[in-house]
């Protein structure tokens, strides 16, 4: 494949230094003065990033691409286009498709669709149990040995509630350095729940979803992970109590990592007063105190990553009464602006911190070998894959889901003013987003 060299000029790398960055042959060849010197001999195309942040490509451990089976909501093609527009060069596609991604055949199908689309790398997530039914383990070893090389397993949307089955899953994946990503929700405590359990849920007459339903499963699972010496990842942490349990587990050296969604860092249960189902999500929007605890947990490293939990739905699943509406929100195209508003503009994270929680750490958790990483200090390095996101934090715009690339329109940020915009994205050195518009996909060889 013939590649074009690019010189990204005038941008600021995550360490806060203004640097030129040279990309060629799918790698970051040089950063700083060396980049400028080598660009001429390589006939590099210049990309003006003055006033912008040059980040390593974003990695999402929690995306719903819906295909196969729910192409009315999203496809791998449309979902990865949205991912690219949001600055993501790698996404992990959750297993709750139809059929469920619980066999080598299904995960390989999703993996191949991602390669054919060419907008970002797609890593399928395998189901923990057959059909997400929570009764017996899925083909974990076969999925790990497939071309998709699955290492992350989750029944996301449904909790692996049986402690014996969860223990067996943790033991099994340990043999090939896999990990279980748990949807922490005790089903008996959330039967019929519609929103966060609080004074507000009583006022609104909606069945409550108690924080302890999440916290009790996390507490159980960190103890199981410690017992078998395996890796646990906690999906979409949403309560202050969950943050404290994870902080305690990490202090004991337990192999637990955790993610938080952008919407749980910005939105609160107060929005449910509108009864607009766009704000119905699992886990539910929580109290302001929970939002503040989640922000602090992400800032101090208790929470490791930001996972979008991008959950597209067709219009009829959201434009209905609250009690029957589907749970979930889109999030790929607004993730970085929400993180800027909730974490950077509030002084809780700098851009090196953003690179840590949205690129470096999720890539390390997933064991990706094709993701360009920054150092611990946030310094963009040479001789790494050229997965790069250029972001302009100075722009502001009113969110209009009708303009989004995703197939669905269930964004909770409609009408809100958010900062920042992704302007350019390079996937293995190929420019898939140029000047805030989709360019051309990178077609991988079979």
Catalytic residue, chosen from 304, 309, 392, 424, is 309
- Please enumerate, by residue number, every residue annotated as part of a binding site for Zn(2+): 62, 64, 156, 183, 236, 309
Tell me the binding residues. Answer: 62, 64-66, 96, 156, 183, 236, 282, 309, 313
- Mean pLDDT for the chain overall: 95
Which DSSP state fits 340? Answer: I
* pLDDT tens track for 253-278: 999 999 999 999 999 999 999 999 99
Q: How far apart are CA 388 and CA 396, in angstroms?
A: 22
Q: In terms of Cα–Cα distance, which of 357, 332, 333, 330 is closest to 343?
A: 357
Please report the pLDDT score of residue 297 as a whole number: 98
The 8-class DSSP code of residue 323 comes to: G
What are the tens digits of pLDDT across the range 40-70?
889 999 999 999 999 999 999 999 999 999 9
Residue 351 has pLDDT above 90, yes or no: yes
Q: Do domains 6-54+377-438 and 57-366 have the same CATH topology?
A: no
Strand pairing report for 384-385 and 27-31: antiparallel
- Pick out the residues of the known binding site for substrate: 64-66, 96, 282, 313
Q: Which CATH number fits domain 6-54+377-438: 2.30.40.10, 1.10.3720.10, 3.30.70.920, 3.40.50.10860?
A: 2.30.40.10
Q: Which CATH architecture has domain 57-366?
A: Alpha-Beta Barrel (3.20)
d(CA 192, CA 207): 7
pLDDT in tens, 298-316: 999 999 999 999 999 999 9
Q: Indicate whether 383 pLDDT > 70.
A: no
DSSP conformational letter for 378: -
309 is catalytic: yes
Kindly state the greatest CA–CA separation across the chain.
Answer: 69
Domain ranges of the chain: 6-54+377-438, 57-366
């Amino acid at each position: 494949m013939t590649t074009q060299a690019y010189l990204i000029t005038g941008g600021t790398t995550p360490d806060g230094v203004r640097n030129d960055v040279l990309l060629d042959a799918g790698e970051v060849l040089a950063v700083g003065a060396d980049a400028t010197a080598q660009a001429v001999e390589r006939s590099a195309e210049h990309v003006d990033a003055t006033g912008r942040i040059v980040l390593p490509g974003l990695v999402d451990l929690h995306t719903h691409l819906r295909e196969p089976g729910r192409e009315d909501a999203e496809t791998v093609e449309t979902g990865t286009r949205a991912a690219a527009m949001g600055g993501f060069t790698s996404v992990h596609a959750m297993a709750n498709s139809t059929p469920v991604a619980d066999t080598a055949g299904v995960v390989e199908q999703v993996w191949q669709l991602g390669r054919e689309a060419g907008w970002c790398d797609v890593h399928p997530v395998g189901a923990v149990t057959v059909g997400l039914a929570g009764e017996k383990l899925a083909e974990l070893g076969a999925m790990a040995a497939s071309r998709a090389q699955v290492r992350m397993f989750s029944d996301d949307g449904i909790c692996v509630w049986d402690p014996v089955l969860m223990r067996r899953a943790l033991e099994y994946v340990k043999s090939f350095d896999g990990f279980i990503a748990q949807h922490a929700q005790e089903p008996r405590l959330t039967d019929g729940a519609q929103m966060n359990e609080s004074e507000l849920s009583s006022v609104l007459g909606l069945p409550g979803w108690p924080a302890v339903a999440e916290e009790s499963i996390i507490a159980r699972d960190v103890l199981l992970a410690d017992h078998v010496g395996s890796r646990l990842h906690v999906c979409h942490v949403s309560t202050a109590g969950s943050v404290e349990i994870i902080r305690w587990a990490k202090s004991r050296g337990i192999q637990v990592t955790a993610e938080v969604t952008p919407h749980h860092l910005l939105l609160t249960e107060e929005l449910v007063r509108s009864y607009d189902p766009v704000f119905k999500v699992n886990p539910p929007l929580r109290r302001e105190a929970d939002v503040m605890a989640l922000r602090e947990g992400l800032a101090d490293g208790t929470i490791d990553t930001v996972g979008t939990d991008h959950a597209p739905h067709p219009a009829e699943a959201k434009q209905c009464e609250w009690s029957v509406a589907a749970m979930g929100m889109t999030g790929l195209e607004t993730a970085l602006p929400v993180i800027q508003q909730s974490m950077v503009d509030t002084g809780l994270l700098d851009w090196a911190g953003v690179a840590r929680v949205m690129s470096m750490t999720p890539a390390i958790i997933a064991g990706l070998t094709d993701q360009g990483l920054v150092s611990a200090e946030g310094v963009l390095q040479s001789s790494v894959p050229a997965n790069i996101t250029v972001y302009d934090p100075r722009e502001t715009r009113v969110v209009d889901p009708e303009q989004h690339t995703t197939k669905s329109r269930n964004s909770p940020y409609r009408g809100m003013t958010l900062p920042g915009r992704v302007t350019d994205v390079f996937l293995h050195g190929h420019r898939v987003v140029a000047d805030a518009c989709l360019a051309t996909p990178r077609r991988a060889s079979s």
